[in-house]
Structure formats: C-alpha cells, structure tokens
Chain A
Amino acid sequence: MNHRVGSPTRRVAALACALAALLGGAQTRGVYAAAASGPVVVGGYTFVKSLGGIDEYHLDGNGLTVLLAPDHSAPVVTFQVTYRVGSFNEVTGTTGATHILEHLMFKGSENFNDPKGNSVKQFLERVGGQFNASTAVDRTTYFATIGRESLEGYIAIEADRMRHLWLHEADRQSEMTVVRNEYERGKNDPENVLVEEVTAAAYEALPYHHPTIGWKSDIEHVAIAKLHEFYDTFYWPNNATVTVVGDIDPSAALALIKKYYGVHSASPQPIPAVYTEEPQQSGPRRVLVKRPGELGTVVIAHKVPNARDADQPALEMLDAILSSGKNARLYRALVDKGLALNAGAGTDLHRDLSLHTVYAALAPGSTHEQVEDALVEEIAKIKTDGVTPAEIARAKQQFVAADAYKRDGTAAVASELNEWIGVGDWTLYVTFPQKFQQVTPADVRRVAKQYLNEDQSTTGWFVPVHPGAEKGS
C-alpha cells in the first residue's frame, strides 16, 4: 500500500490539540464534547478511562485496547488498528520486516481474500473507503474512513487478518520487488538519504539506527519463515489498540469489535520488549552525503527524551518559535536573508529516545558553512538570551486554533491519536496541549541548554555533485 515509513514528526500545525477550554473560559474540554455521552457498559469489556471525549476500554478476553471517539457531524467513521510493533523491534537480517509484513497484510486472510472477492482492498474500494496502512519505528497501523454502514464489514476483515493472515512464499517474492521499488524511490531523493544517514549516525545501539524500510539486502533476503515468526510474535489483540472515530453508537461499536476480535486469544507468550539502551554520545558526529543534485542541505540532529517526557512540551515550544511562520527565528535569520530556501525544526517522536532536528535547504549562492553557522547561532541565542513572552504567547494561540481545525474530519483525529498510541500514551493527545500551554520562557531556555549541545549533535550535509563532476573527494 502507500505506506508512510519513518517516524512521526511533530509540528505545531499537526500536533495541536484542544485547548480552547483553557483560554476560552470553558470548564472542560472535549474533542467531541457535543457528541460524547460518557462511557457505556457492554459485557466483556472493562472501562478504563475517559479523557477529552475519548473513552478507553479493554476487551477482557484477550486484552485488546479500544478507544471510541463519537462524532456525528458526518455519516462517516474512521476505524484503525495500531499494533505496537515497528522497525524498532527488528534486528540485523530482518530490518524492514515490519514493513514487508504490512504489505503482506493485503495479500488476503483465511476468510477475506481476492479469490472470494471480499479482500480488504476489494471491499474498501467497492464502498468508496479512503484507506491505507503505515509502518513507523514504534508502530504499524491499518486504517480506513468509510460510510458508517460499512463499519462491520471492515472490522470483520481487520479482525480476521490479525490472526489468520495468508503468508505465502510466492506473495513474498512478488512483494519483495514492490518494496524494493519503494526503497529505490526513496533513494531518488538526496534529502531523504541525508536524513537516513544522519539518523543512523545519531543512534549507535538503539534500533532507530536503521531505516524503517530496512536495508536493501534484508528486504531482498528475509525468509517467509522469519516474517511468519514476526507475525506470530506481535500480531495479537493484547499488542493492539483499535480506535473508532466518527458517527457511531458506542455500545453498538463495542459489540461489533467484540464479535470479531473477541474470537482471538491473547498471545501465548508475553510480547518481547527491547532492552537495548543507547550509550552516552561522547562528541559531535558528522555525515556527508554526495549525490547528483543542485542545492545543498544542512541538518543538525540531537537525541532528546522519549515522547512522553515532561520536557517535550518545552521542546515543542522551542520548535514553534524557531520555525512556525514568517515571524519564526529561522525564517528571519536564514530565509529572509537569502541564505536558505526554507528552514525548520521538529522532533521525530519515539517511544524511546526521540530525535530533534533543525534543518535548512541552501539558497543558490550560499554555502554549507554559512547555513550551518546560522542554524547554530540561532540555537545559541536561545540558550544565551532565551525567548520572549510574546513568542510564547503567539505559539500558544496557534495551538488553540489548530485544535479547532483538527476536529474537522475523523481521519485527522484518528491519525494523530495513532501517533500518540505508538509512542505509548494516547492520553497525550489530550494532555500534551495542556502541558504546552504551561510552558514558560525559562523552560524553553532550559531544554535548549540541556539537550542541544554540540557534543551530543550529529550534523549532516548533502553536497550536490553536478553531472560530470567527480564524486570522490
């Protein structure tokens, strides 16, 4: 499918959650305050908690987590299942296995497949669904937005392929070359190559080191038995979260989920955890990528805490001040001065150590040294002088508006919830914006000083080689 491989990158516009309540004077906030009617009681489920109009349940028989967010503004539903497995769970020889398995999830399952005329793609395209799947470092997700009357049909298919997937060698062979072409398409873009190499240099031990799509040789040679082993290790209800956003009756939705997912048992063995820890970085690292191209790029990366860490809202604020809009510091210092075509900052949020980056695409006539110096200088200014209350206030207001924007459409809500599920705590969908509103100028300065240090940095340059020029140094 058209997968997004990689890790979630947080941006102000993408991340903003509901905070109108805090600034607007309301007493409570809810993603779907008008629709939310509170938790319901359905046999076989344990209600866990409600937050922001989202209710969490556990299916008692197998440990499946279910999130419901009713929204009756349109007769559509987004249904997604998030498996807590990603490229972080791979080792040398099986890199890319999570992603190949995601492809094979569309090759049919015992009860829903092409020969029967009811495979997932046949069903969803017949009802006009918008659907896909994506693999990231910490999670794998399957999702569709469909008319509400098609919900049962899709749940039945998703539940079936959770435990009854066809995994045939012939399918692996034909899909391997499909995935290899996806890999090749990514290599067409030198900036993508640069980010992969910077990431690989930044992470020495953690499996974020390798790209989610995997190394080419692993894509080509991983055995079907290994993929089967991977599937049988991670594709279980107790390693998954089902999310339903849209025009649903919560009791009916829970009953459907139980009807189709309730037939599965929990995993016979505990889901294995990764125990590897990243060693302390002991000096700056540098990466140089030389490929055909026209204009260069500079990326400066720093490892920062996991997505759930209390310092993440301040880092988010730092990124907003650096890169959000024409008043952002990087725009003024690099783009407006003609050094860069664009510049920005963001964090790839991870369940374990996340990766913060500042980057710029060189404008014609500027040099890598000039651009890198300008990026470093802007970081240094924040460490030395801090940020202003006006910058903080502006970023906070942008979050408030973005909260309202994201309520427009079930798919956008489900997609953002998915990223928080992936990093280990869906409630951050609700609480992260609240924490963001509490960030102070001192917090921003502190996190800049604490995490954006030269000795902890990995800097990458994409240096274009013009046609006819020698590639070697």
Chain B
Amino acid sequence: MIGHNVLKKCALPVLLLASSSAGATMAEQSHRTTAAGVDLVTYPTGVKDVVTILGALPAGDAMGRSGNIAIPTLAGMMLDRGTKALDKFAIADQLDNVGAEIAFGVGTQSLEIRAKCLKKDLPLVMGLIAAELRTPALKAQEFAKAKQQFIGSLEASLQNTEGRAHEAFGRSVFPDDHPNHPHSIAEYIAAAKSATLDDLKAFHAKYYGPAHMTLVLVGDVSAAGVQAEVAKAFSGWNGGQDYIRPAQPASASGPREISVPLSDKPSVSMILGQVTGLKYRDPDALALRVGTAILGHGFTGRLMGTVRDKEGLTYNIGAGIGEDSIADGAWDISASFAPALLDKGIASTRRELQKWWSEGVTESELADRKQGLIGGYFVGLSTSGGVASTIVTSIQRGYDVTWLDGYPEAVKALTRAQVNNAIKTHLDPSTMVLVEAGSVRRE
C-alpha cells in the first residue's frame, strides 16, 4: 500500500523536474512577434505533422451594444459562408480534401478562431482563415439563412435551464453598460429579426482587423515558417478595435432572488453569486481563485464533499470565477437540484458558503489545493489545444508568455492569510443574487 504522506510529498517536485527535463520553459519554447499587424505566437511541441491554431479578435457580443446586438454573432456566422473568391462549398471542398478544420465562434468580447491541419496544409489553411476574415462574401441569401439558424438556436435555448439561469444571473449582477451584461434571448431574437446586411457590413468594417488580433500556432511548427505564412496571408489588412475595458468595476447590487419558471423540468438550475470587481490581473484575484477552488472545485471541493457526497442533494455543484480576463468578472456557485430538494439544497449551499466565508480555508486545504493546481497546470499543457488555449487567455489577460513560467511559483507563494483576506474583501454572502431556473414553486 502506498501511504498518503509519501505521495503527497513526492508528487510536486518530481513533476516539476519532469516538465523541465522534457523541454525548455514556455518563454524559451515560444516565439512572439508581430506579422502583418497580427500578434503572433508560435510554440513547437513534440506532436508530429499536426498544427493547432487558436486566435482571438475583439469582435464579440459586447461590441454590438451600440447598434444591433445580434450583429456580432451573425458576422461570425457569415465567415464560413463564402468569400469574395470562393463560395462556401468550394471552401468546404478545399478543407475536406485535406481533412483540415476551421471554425469560428463568438463570445462575450472575442471572435474565436479555431483550426487544425496537417503541417503541409498550413499555407492553404492560413490563406483560407485570412480570406474568411478579410473578404467574406456577405451575400444576402446566406445572410437570410444565418438569421434563420441563429433565431432557431436561440428559440431552442429558451428551454435550457442552465442557460436561462446564467442569463438571469448576468443580467442581474452586471449593470446595463458593462460588457459582461448579457442581453436576454428575447432581445437577441428580436434583434436578429431586424438585423440588416448593411449593419453587418458596417460592423465588419469597423471591428475586423489585425490591430488587436492574436494568433497562436502550436505543434509541428517553426517560427520563421509561420511568420512568413501569416505575413503573406494578412498583408495589407488594416483596422480593428481594442477590447472593452470598463473604467470602473461593477459593484455588488444587493441581495435578490430571481425565479425563471420553465415547465416540466425535473431538475432546477441554481446560481448563487455576485460580481467581484476584479480582473484576473488584479492583486487579490489569484488568491480569490485558489480560495474558490477549495470551496467548489472538483470532487474534493467542500461543496461536492458535503452537498453531494454527504447529503446526496445534487449531481453537480461547484464554484468559480468567470469572464474576468478582460473586464471585471463574477463569482458564483452553480448547482442542480430536484424541485423537491431545492430548498434543502440551497440551505446546504448557503451553510457551506457562510462557513467558508467566515472561517476561511485551512493550511492543509491550501497546501493540497496549491499542489493540485500546479500539477493540473502541467497536465493541461500536455496537448496542443491546452497550450494554445493557455497562451491566448494569458495574452487576453494582458500577460506575456513569460508570465506562464511564473504561474506555479505565484500559486506556491500564496499564504492562507492572503486567501482568506481576498475572500472576505471581495465577497459578501449577504449581498449575493440567487437564481433558480426550472419547475420552481416560487413563480
């Protein structure tokens, strides 16, 4: 039998050693430059023949609030529906014939670019990404189809308890002018119906450009080769806008209870939380994150350990901090409960929250969680997708890649006092917002 203490003491130092022996630091391994105005990072790994591409461009939902709010998503949906030179089937043909993939997604502040290809096909794929971003065809017929599909997917999401709970929570805790304040599904549907192609063309002209765009290529890549391809594909492109960074963080607005009634839902989605007023880079943010992980991360977090494991009230409960990479974010506990167990589940959740908030975390919990976070950080970097995602997010947070090498030490250096102080300073259970979505009784 292997003893607990032996494992606990050995795991971290050996892992760090293994990581450094496997290669250089993140900073040494990566190469960051500007190519045709695009912030470009290349990161070679041991994977053979495969290139993973991840990019971000500030053209997300938040950029639509000065006009038609459906336009950012519709603009993203139009990118793979043909360029000035190729229709959508010709693009699909070129990709399918080499098994390459390009996908676009629209988030709160970013248009996300995801692609994967064999090394030999990088020139083709980079050329197609550039053409789709720079010169989408934006044809009326395709626009009508995109609108129909967007409206359909919005209508389908009206019955999703988790989505509706998050929508209600975000709308309650963030002020109307905050980039993290979501619009309602009904508002999106109405906006999509009235959206025009001219609106979309104007949005594309204003927001699509290299000025604040990041591209990260990971895998079987060389910095020089990638730089040449990106410079060629994006040569002569201009424009682009920065992310929206509110001058003042949102402040907690006081306790509220919100019900989103949905019929015939055997499981209710619950969210309890508040704004933090913190961005990821702010001084207390890491301490609050580690403290939050002790409360609600994984199967050994306090919430899973009590509300699920001991009391059997839920399948899933956890705590986290979201949407804080660019603007100040929100902190929440999310869970699901059967309607008959909802009151009991909320009471247990509040009890654990109050205990954590008032008494703080223990030295032992902190030591274990720090070790787990650092170990998980390295495991997460064992795939190209994990590396690419980590780099893009770090850049959005305003860090250089070099910061990543310091992450384990930053976590290691946190003290119990710092963590508990961050919890007390930035959270207050008495002001939190409670949302229940599903077949709730308090309709």
Q: Which residues of A have CB within 8 Å of B316?
A: 2, 181, 185
CB-CB under 8 A for A74 and B266, given A125-B372, A150-B11: no
Q: In the bound complex, do residue A175 and residue B312 qualify as a contact, i.e. CB atoms below 8 Å apart?
A: yes
Q: Which residues of B have CB within 8 Å of A123?
A: 4, 7
Q: Which of B129-178 contact A (CB under 8 A)?
A: 145, 148-149, 151-153, 155-156, 158-161
Q: In the bound complex, do residue B11 and residue A178 qualify as a contact, i.e. CB atoms below 8 Å apart?
A: no
Contact of B26 with A by CB under 8 A: no
Q: In the bound complex, do residue B19 and residue A129 qualify as a contact, i.e. CB atoms below 8 Å apart?
A: no
Q: In the bound complex, do residue B385 and residue A408 qualify as a contact, i.e. CB atoms below 8 Å apart?
A: yes
Most chain-A Cβ atoms within 10 A of its Cβ — which of B151, B156, B379, B385?
B379
Q: In the bound complex, do residue A364 and residue B97 qualify as a contact, i.e. CB atoms below 8 Å apart?
A: no
Most chain-B Cβ atoms within 10 A of its Cβ — which of A324, A327, A336?
A327
Q: Which of A153, A180, A293 contacts B2 (CB under 8 A)?
A: A153
Q: Which residue of B lies closest to A341 (CB)?
A: B152
CB-CB under 8 A for A326 and B92, given A295-B152, A400-B99: yes
Q: In the bound complex, do residue B11 and residue A126 qualify as a contact, i.e. CB atoms below 8 Å apart?
A: yes
When chains A and B are docked, how far (Å) is the Cα of A183 from the Cα of B309?
17
When chains A and B are docked, how far (Å) is the Cα of A467 from the Cα of B260?
14
Contact of B331 with A by CB under 8 A: no
Q: In the bound complex, do residue B265 and residue A188 qualify as a contact, i.e. CB atoms below 8 Å apart?
A: yes
Q: Which of B47, B156, B312 contacts A177 (CB under 8 A)?
A: B312
Which of B208-216, B281-289, B333-341 is the interface stretch?
A: B333-341
How would residues 295 to 320 of chain B score, 1 for a CB under 8 Å from any chain A CB and 0 otherwise? 00011100000001111111110000
Q: In the bound complex, do residue A75 and residue B19 qualify as a contact, i.e. CB atoms below 8 Å apart?
A: yes
Q: Which of A366-385 contact B (CB under 8 A)?
A: none
Number of B residues whose C-beta is below 8 Å from A?
91
Q: Which residues of B have CB within 8 Å of A184?
A: 266-267, 336, 338
Q: Which of B12, B299, B313, B379 contacts A106 (CB under 8 A)?
A: B299
Q: Which of A111, A364, A410 contacts B151 (CB under 8 A)?
A: A364
**Distance in Å: Cβ of B349 to nearest Cβ of chain A:** 14
How would residues 74 to 103 of chain B score, 1 for a CB under 8 Å from any chain A CB and 0 otherwise? 000000100000001101110111111100
CB-CB under 8 A for A401 and B7, given A128-B372, A129-B379: no
Contact of B46 with A by CB under 8 A: yes
Contact of B377 with A by CB under 8 A: yes
Q: In the bound complex, do residue B300 and residue A187 qualify as a contact, i.e. CB atoms below 8 Å apart?
A: no
Q: In the bound complex, do residue B383 and residue A409 qualify as a contact, i.e. CB atoms below 8 Å apart?
A: yes
Q: Which residue of B lies closest to A148 (CB)?
A: B18
Q: Which of B229-279 contact A (CB under 8 A)?
A: 262-267
Q: Which of A125, A145, A174 contacts B309 (CB under 8 A)?
A: A174
How would residues 172 to 205 of chain A score, 1 for a CB under 8 Å from any chain B CB and 0 otherwise? 0111111111111101101000000000000000
Q: Which residues of A have CB within 8 Å of B152?
A: 295, 341, 361-364
Contact of A217 with B by CB under 8 A: no
When chains A and B are docked, how far (Å) is the Cα of A28 from the Cα of B88?
37
How would residues 1 to 28 of chain B score, 1 for a CB under 8 Å from any chain A CB and 0 otherwise? 1111001101110110011011000000
Contact of B438 with A by CB under 8 A: yes
Contact of B384 with A by CB under 8 A: yes
CB-CB under 8 A for A129 and B376, given A149-B11, A324-B96: yes
**Distance in Å: Cβ of A203 to nearest Cβ of chain B:** 24
Contact of A117 with B by CB under 8 A: yes
**Distance in Å: Cβ of A387 to nearest Cβ of chain B:** 14
Q: Which residue of A lies closest to B371 (CB)?
A: A126
**Distance in Å: Cβ of B421 to nearest Cβ of chain A:** 24
When chains A and B are docked, how far (Å) is the Cα of A400 from the Cα of B7?
41
**Distance in Å: Cβ of B393 to nearest Cβ of chain A:** 18
Q: In the bound complex, do residue B378 and residue A185 qualify as a contact, i.e. CB atoms below 8 Å apart?
A: no
Q: In the bound complex, do residue A336 and residue B145 qualify as a contact, i.e. CB atoms below 8 Å apart?
A: yes
Q: In the bound complex, do residue B95 and residue A325 qualify as a contact, i.e. CB atoms below 8 Å apart?
A: yes
Q: In the bound complex, do residue A178 and residue B315 qualify as a contact, i.e. CB atoms below 8 Å apart?
A: yes
Q: Which of A75, A116, A121, A341 contacts B153 (CB under 8 A)?
A: A341
When chains A and B are docked, how far (Å) is the Cα of A116 from the Cα of B149?
54
**Distance in Å: Cβ of B372 to nearest Cβ of chain A:** 5
Contact of A398 with B by CB under 8 A: yes
When chains A and B are docked, how far (Å) is the Cα of A292 from the Cα of B265?
9
CB-CB under 8 A for A127 and B96, given A156-B2, A364-B152, A407-B47: no
**Distance in Å: Cβ of B114 to nearest Cβ of chain A:** 12
Q: In the bound complex, do residue B97 and residue A181 qualify as a contact, i.e. CB atoms below 8 Å apart?
A: no
Q: Which residues of B have CB within 8 Å of A335?
A: 149
Q: In the bound complex, do residue A178 and residue B50 qualify as a contact, i.e. CB atoms below 8 Å apart?
A: no
Contact of B348 with A by CB under 8 A: no
Q: Which residues of A have CB within 8 Å of B30?
A: none
Contact of A91 with B by CB under 8 A: no
Most chain-B Cβ atoms within 10 A of its Cβ — which of A122, A130, A361, A401?
A401
Contact of A397 with B by CB under 8 A: yes
Q: Which residues of A have CB within 8 Å of B100?
A: 401
**Distance in Å: Cβ of B162 to nearest Cβ of chain A:** 9
Q: In the bound complex, do residue A185 and residue B336 qualify as a contact, i.e. CB atoms below 8 Å apart?
A: yes
CB-CB under 8 A for A405 and B336, given A187-B266, A361-B156, A364-B151: no
Q: In the bound complex, do residue A404 and residue B48 qualify as a contact, i.e. CB atoms below 8 Å apart?
A: yes
CB-CB under 8 A for A188 and B3, given A74-B22, A128-B372, A182-B315: no
Contact of B33 with A by CB under 8 A: no
Q: Which residues of A have CB within 8 Å of B378?
A: 75-76, 128, 147
Q: Which residues of B have CB within 8 Å of A4?
A: none
Q: Which of B371-389 contact A (CB under 8 A)?
A: 371-386
Most chain-B Cβ atoms within 10 A of its Cβ — which of A112, A247, A361, A409?
A409
Q: In the bound complex, do residue A401 and residue B117 qualify as a contact, i.e. CB atoms below 8 Å apart?
A: yes
Q: Which residue of B lies closest to A297 (CB)?
A: B156
Contact of A402 with B by CB under 8 A: yes
| 21 A-B pairs (CB sep. < 8 Å) | A34-B48, A75-B19, A116-B4, A118-B7, A125-B300, A126-B8, A126-B368, A147-B375, A149-B11, A160-B1, A181-B338, A184-B267, A184-B336, A325-B96, A326-B91, A364-B155, A365-B148, A404-B50, A404-B118, A407-B48, A409-B383
Beyond A128-B377, A149-B15, A185-B267, 10 additional contacts (C-beta under 8 Å) are: A112-B1, A118-B3, A126-B7, A147-B18, A292-B159, A327-B93, A394-B93, A401-B117, A409-B382, A409-B384
